[in-house]
């Protein structure tokens, strides 16, 4: 998968002249709803480059850090998940002051003219442009004027409501891991590869975790090892710290929560 920044992609520096099928969003979690959008652009991969336009850092973390409780996926996890899904190009946006001031029309014109978007799939709740003033129906109208075939995709529902990254974060924060698993359609996994843990008794302590964590307590989990996954205990100390049972060997690269002990 090619990984480009917004400027390089819109300046044609990516090396591919192929028109693109695009979906846009934060894609935190790459959850069940996101995968429907991804499926729409992959269905056009024979003629169009399947391209995800996303953010290097969640805009909510930048704009409202006081209410942002952590990401569902690290950037590294998100990129790996998109690549495993079959995405050919991922475009990363730095939500700078300049980008945030683009109108919806300016943003979509850049997608069409510079990014060669010929097909665009967005969710029904999608909004873009300065102050999020351009909704999904406006995107379809603007897309039509730019010769971009735009599809508004219905949400995936869980218990009668749309699956969203915000709902998954809330489920984790409240310790409702089965709900988080159901909306992700897979276990919730902490990425520990960038951490150097400290030893605390018979456990490994991880501080500064940026992913969302459940309430303080003890949770069944599985740790990744060279020989596969092994059962372990995870003690959440706070919103950013956790203890993992140490059982010899190297520290785990991943820790996934278990519904059952």
Domain extents in the chain: 2-158, 189-257
Distance between CA atoms of residues 28 and 41, nearest Å: 18
Distance CA(204)–CA(249), nearest Å, equals 12
Note down pLDDT in tens along the chain; length 261 residues.
Answer: 999 999 888 887 665 668 999 999 999 999 999 999 999 999 999 999 999 999 998 888 877 888 888 999 999 999 999 999 999 999 999 977 678 888 999 999 999 998 999 999 999 999 998 888 999 999 999 999 999 999 999 999 999 999 999 999 999 999 999 999 999 999 999 999 999 999 998 899 999 999 999 999 999 999 998 889 999 989 999 889 999 987 667 899 999 998 764
| CATH architecture group of domain 2-158 | 3-Layer(aba) Sandwich (3.40)
Q: Would you give the DSSP letter of residue 94?
A: P
What spatial distance separates the first Cα and last Cα of the chain, rounded to whole Å? 37
Give, for 221, the enclosing helix (H) or strand (E): strand 217-225
């Amino acid at each position: 998968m090619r990984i480009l920044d917004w400027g390089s992609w819109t300046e044609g520096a990516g090396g591919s002249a192929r028109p693109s099928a695009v979906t846009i969003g934060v894609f935190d979690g790459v959850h069940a709803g996101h995968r429907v959008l991804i499926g729409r652009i992959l269905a056009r991969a024979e003629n169009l480059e399947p391209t995800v336009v996303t953010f290097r850092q969640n805009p909510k973390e930048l704009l409202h850090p006081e209410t942002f409780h952590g990401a569902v996926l690290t950037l590294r996890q998100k990129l790996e998940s998109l690549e495993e899904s079959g995405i050919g190009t991922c475009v990363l946006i730095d939500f700078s002051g300049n980008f945030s001031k683009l109108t919806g029309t300016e943003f979509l014109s850049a997608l069409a003219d510079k990014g060669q978007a010929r097909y665009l799939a967005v969710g029904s709740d999608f909004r873009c442009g300065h102050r999020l003033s351009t909704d999904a129906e406006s995107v379809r109208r603007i897309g039509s004027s730019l010769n971009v075939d735009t599809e508004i995709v219905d949400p995936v529902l869980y218990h009668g409501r749309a699956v969203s990254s915000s709902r998954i974060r809330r489920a984790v924060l409240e310790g409702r891991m089965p709900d988080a698993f159901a909306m992700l359609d897979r276990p919730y996994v902490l990425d520990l590869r960038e951490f150097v843990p400290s030893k605390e008794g018979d456990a490994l302590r991880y501080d500064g975790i940026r992913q969302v964590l459940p309430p303080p307590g003890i949770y069944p989990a599985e740790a990744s090892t060279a020989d596969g996954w092994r059962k372990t205990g995870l003690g959440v100390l706070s919103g950013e710290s956790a203890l993992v049972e140490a059982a010899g060997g190297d520290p785990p690269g991943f820790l996934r929560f278990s519904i059952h002990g």
